[in-house]
Amino acid sequence: MGLDIDIMTHDNEDMVSFRSHEILLDRLNAVVEDTERPELGVSELKSLVEEFEDEMIEAGMSLPELDIGNPQTQEDIVAGLPEYFCDDAPKDWAAALPHYRLLFSRLIPIARQEVYLKLIVTA
């Protein structure tokens, strides 16, 4: 049994779900602890994206321009990611960083519209 991470709108619309992404959960918990609420606003999401970018640079990766588009649905958010990326923890954290960077960048416009996104963690 894995740990589930759900990021939802305040109207409980599921935006993205992860299964067993424990390192990501640690990062999300650090952001939530700093804000003292289980919510991700624009500033928290931007901070996460910046962390991913810093780690990518440290790993010698480039930061290609992102195609964020105008995400409105869960399908829009995960478009272009490897199939089943969210379904199981990545075997290589560094290799997953570009995918997290894209995914969380796409959540920013949604958080801007929604004011915040809820973070739900279940075992």
pLDDT digits (tens, 9 = 90+) for 30-71: 877 766 667 888 988 999 999 999 999 999 999 999 989 889
- % of residues, the chain, pLDDT over 70: 93
Place of tokens 């995400």: 71
Q: Rounded mean pLDDT of 63-81?
A: 91
Question: Phi/psi at 72 (nearest 5 deg)?
Answer: -130, -25
Single pTM value for the model = 0.88
The yes-or-no verdict on residue 1 having pLDDT over 50 is no
Mean pLDDT estimate for the chain: 87
pLDDT value, residue 3: 66
What pLDDT does residue 36 have? 61
DSSP for residue 3: -
pLDDT at residue 22 in the model: 86
- C-alpha 20/C-alpha 92 separation (Å) is 13
In angstroms, rounded to a whole number, what is the distance separating the alpha carbons of residues 55 and 112?
A: 25
**Residue 42, number of CB atoms within 10 A of its CB:** 17
- Res 50: pLDDT: 96
